[in-house]
Every structure is written in C-alpha cells, then in structure tokens.
Structure 1
Amino acid sequence: MRYYRLPGGERSATDTLVVEDEDGTAYDLTSASPDLGSFKALARAANANDESIDTVARKRLDDADRFDLDTATGDLLQPVVADEVWAAGVTYQISEEARKAESGKPEVYIDVYDNERPEIFLKATPSRTVGPSEDIGVRGDSDWDVPEPELGIVLHRGKTVGYTIGNDVSSRDIEGENPLYLPQAKVYDRCCSIGPCVVSEETIEDPHDLEMSLTIERDGKIVYEESTSTNEMVTTCDELVSYLDRHNVLPETLVLLTGTALVPPESFTLTEGDQVTIDIGDIGRLVNGTVTV
C-alpha cells in the first residue's frame, strides 16, 4: 500500500493521509479518524497495537472516504516528515568511481567501497527537506552540483516500515576539494527532497530489485537521462540500518537514503530552473525544480 500526505483543507486542523490500496483505489484515512493525519501517526498506531501499518489502515477503509489522487498530484507534501534524514555513500561501484574522479584523495573512497563498514552521515533536518514539486537547492558558492537519486528506507522506532524516493543533492566540487568538507557539500537549505509517497515494507517484495531512473530537463530539453537497478548495491538495506543503529539513539521517525548509482558526467552541473525527475519502480515519481540558495 502507498501512503500520501496532502494539505488538510480549510476545515481540518491536520494534514490529510491518503492510502492507495493494491487495486489502485485511494482512501482518505483522516476522514475515518482525525488521529490518522500523518504517516507518523499511523506508524504510532501500528506500533501500539503490534501490527503492521497496512493492517491498521485496512481496518479503517470501510469508514474512509474515497479520494481521487489524479486531481491532487500537484498538492502532494512530503509523505513523512522525518525527524532526521541520514544517507549512505559509496554503496554502488559507479558512486565509488565518481568520488575518485572528483577528489584529490581518492583512496578514502576506495577504502569505504572495499570495507565492511559503510559511509553513513546526517543529511538533513525537516527544515532543510522539501517534498514533491518543491525546489531543491544548489549552493551559491559551488560550481559543480548534482542530484543523487536514492532509495529511502523509512524507519519508525528503529524498525523498517516502508520505502520512499530521496534526492541527496550534493556539491561535488566542495566535497572533492577535501573530504572533511562533506557536511558543507551535503547539508544546507533545500539539500534533500523526499516523496512522492511511502510504500509499505509489505508492498516492496525486494528493495534490492527496483528499477531507478534519473531525468534532468533544462529549458524543456532533456540534458541527462539514465537508469539503473538497486540490485547494483554492494551493501544491503538491512546492513545499512544495522550500522546506523549502532551506539546511536535514533529519533522516532527517520529516513535513511541508501546511495546512488546514477551520477551525471563531470561536465554537468545543476542550474537554477532545471527540473529533476526520479522514478523508482513500485514507489513512484519524485519531481523537483531547482533554485540557487
């Protein structure tokens, strides 16, 4: 099942949580219970009853109003407002190769790619994260910026409850100058986008067998287009979660981005006005514009 978040409207004090079932029929869960106004609220209810989020949602469908998602795509919000967004790096071979190309110290990336311990870093806070149709940001002090399409793992109370799409926007020249500049290359205003929905863990049969594509348009023309599969990951989702959880008190809800295998060539950099589209099979499509911050 897929979970979307939309504005609640004039008569509602909360946002609207919409669920799409296996047949493609959508329901307004918030109409069945005002306590189900967010994915986090649904996850809390599931955790309290020791049930899956899909089980809790199905119990309320008979009381929920039907919803037409086709008329609301432009209103979609971040499907889950994560307390923190974390990200993993060098989990695909092409990412390791790209990091070597951008850096004067390539050995640090080779060591991570070949090592058991993955690279995991804090990517964004809620105020730095945008949702579908919002603009991602590129730093004004950077000359080489790229989107990084990634599968996102949604965790609640440390347990995987679903998956989403993430865009780990990065300033490659800043990180390439010195690996210690990684926080500045990764963490800034509008540095991350999440959406368009959260797909339950039960719906995704294998997170390591999903087609992923990246398309970048400029002035109505495609300037980059490529695809790959999450089966190219050298580290599993479970392994990434296990390292994130080690000696680390996790917030109630977070998203962990799992690395990218789609890296535009060195001659490319994002500019204001570009449109970035990420598709991941069984999850959906995340579209964002671009603005200088």
Structure 2
Amino acid sequence: KAPVLASVGWGAEVGVHPNSAWNNPEPEVVLVCDPDGRTVGAALGNDVNLRDVEGRSALLLGKAKDNNASAAIGPFIRLFDAGFGMDDVRRAEVRLEVIGADGFVMDGSSNMALISRDPEELVRQAAGANHQYPDGFALYLGTMFAPVDDRGAPGLGFTHRVGDRVRVSSPKLGVLENVVTTSDKAPPWVFGVSALMRNLAQRGLLGASV
C-alpha cells in the first residue's frame, strides 16, 4: 500500500489525487507482523482508493493506491495477548462514517467474517521464502464495504470531497479519524529511512542494543 514510514496516523489529513473524480475510503483491519511473518498485533486502516484510476487498467493499480497520505493506520497497535488475538480479527466488524462539510453523511460497515481468505493465509502470501521483510510489515486485509450512496447527481455514486471527516472504528481497536484533502496539499512525506537514522544518531541510540 505504501513505502515504509509513509503512512499517516490518527488526526492527520489523508490525500486523494487531485485528478481523481471518483474515489473512496476503504475501512480495513491492519495486521502488524514481525520479520519472521508472525502476527503480533492489529490496528485499523483506511486504504484510500482512486476508483476511476484503478478501473481503467490493472497496470494503474500503483497510481490508484500509492499517493501522498493515502494510507492511514491507527489509532494504536493493539498487541496480541490472552485477551485479544487472531480470532478477534476474524470476527471484527469495522464501521465507516463519512461526514462531509456539505452535510453529506454516509455510514457503512465491513464484516471480517465474510472476507474470502483467512487473515493468516494473507500473511503467508505476503511473506515467506520468496519475499522477506527484515523490519516486519503492516498488512491491510481488505474490506467488504463499497459505497453506493449517491453524492450529487443520481447514479453517479459516492466520491470524496475536500473536508470530509472519515471515521473507521471497531469496538476492540478504537477509532481512526482523518480529514480528506488532496495529495498535493497534504503535508509532504519527508521522514524516510535516512531521516530515521539521523534522528536515532542525534539521540545517541544507534549504538544501543535492540
């Protein structure tokens, strides 16, 4: 969905490409996995999608999915323990609310029990002998939700407008809330791996044992 360190968190702006006229949020559960492909926790995610771009060609999937601020994760990572685990993910009901500055309101949900592939199978497909993630990874599991409410002219369906407030929620994973802007107006992504290394060096942490 996005390069390492490029996702945004709770309260940040999420971006849709300014050339897109048909786009939508995708409320999802996100699994957090260690370098060995073991799932250690879960969070909520919003996989902002450009439907008009994705629908033109599978070759444009990267353009449809990976734009500035188009991946949101939060509001926290809930680690697996005796009280919360993969079975809770499998049973999760993920709610989506969109509240527009124009008064438009949309409310929907995604039932994880209805997804076609088990979350553990998706993890196995993501990491293994053919593809490794030495620092671990966050895996969006997909959604059963597709917006059908018209926003504007009848039959044209839903699309985001700047200022939309998007809430993705689930009882055991909290509420992830973001406000929509365009990807060119969202704060630019500047904190990459080199910035992380400089930050750690400035704090004297590169020599610390991990």
Using the size of structure 1 for normalisation, the TM-score is 0.56
Q: Give the superposition deviation at 1:201.
A: 1.7
Is the 1:215–1:222 contact (alpha carbons within 8 Å) kept by the matching residues of 2? Answer: no
Q: Which runs of 5+ in 2 are unaligned?
A: 149-155, 184-210
Q: Give the superposition deviation at 1:233.
A: 1.2
The number of residue pairs the alignment matches comes to: 171
Amino acid at match of 1:204: F
Distance 1:146-1:251 versus aligned 2 partners, 3 A rule: farther
Q: How does 1:161-172 map to 2 (within 5 A)?
A: 161-172=40-51
2:84 aligned residue: 204
Which residue of 154, 176, 199 maps to 1:286? 176
Name which structure has the greater RCO, CA cutoff 8 Å, separation 6+.
2
1:159 aligned residue: 38
The sequence identity of aligned pairs, in percent, is 32
Is the 2:98–2:105 contact (alpha carbons within 8 Å) kept by the matching residues of 1? Answer: yes
Amino acid at match of 2:66: V
Which residue of 107, 115, 134 maps to 1:251? 134
Is the 2:92–2:170 contact (alpha carbons within 8 Å) kept by the matching residues of 1? Answer: yes
Amino acid at match of 1:258: L
1:261 aligned residue: 144
Q: Give the superposition deviation at 1:234.
A: 1.4
Using the size of structure 2 for normalisation, the TM-score is 0.77
Is the 2:27–2:110 contact (alpha carbons within 8 Å) kept by the matching residues of 1? Answer: no
Q: How does 1:68-87 map to 2 (within 5 A)?
A: none
Amino acid at match of 1:259: G
Q: Over aligned residues, Cα RMSD in angstroms?
A: 1.4
Name the stretch that deviates more: 169-178 or 249-258: 249-258
Q: How many Å separate the matches in 1 of 2:127 and 2:177?
A: 30
SS in 2 for 1:231: helix
Q: Give the superposition deviation at 1:229.
A: 1.8
Q: Where is the helix percentage greater, Structure 1 or Structure 2?
A: 1
Q: Which runs of 5+ in 1 are unaligned?
A: 1-122
Q: How does 1:1-293 map to 2 (within 5 A)?
A: 123-157=1-35, 158-202=37-81, 203-205=83-85, 206=87, 207-219=89-101, 221-246=103-128, 247-265=130-148, 267-293=157-183
Q: Give the superposition deviation at 1:245.
A: 1.1
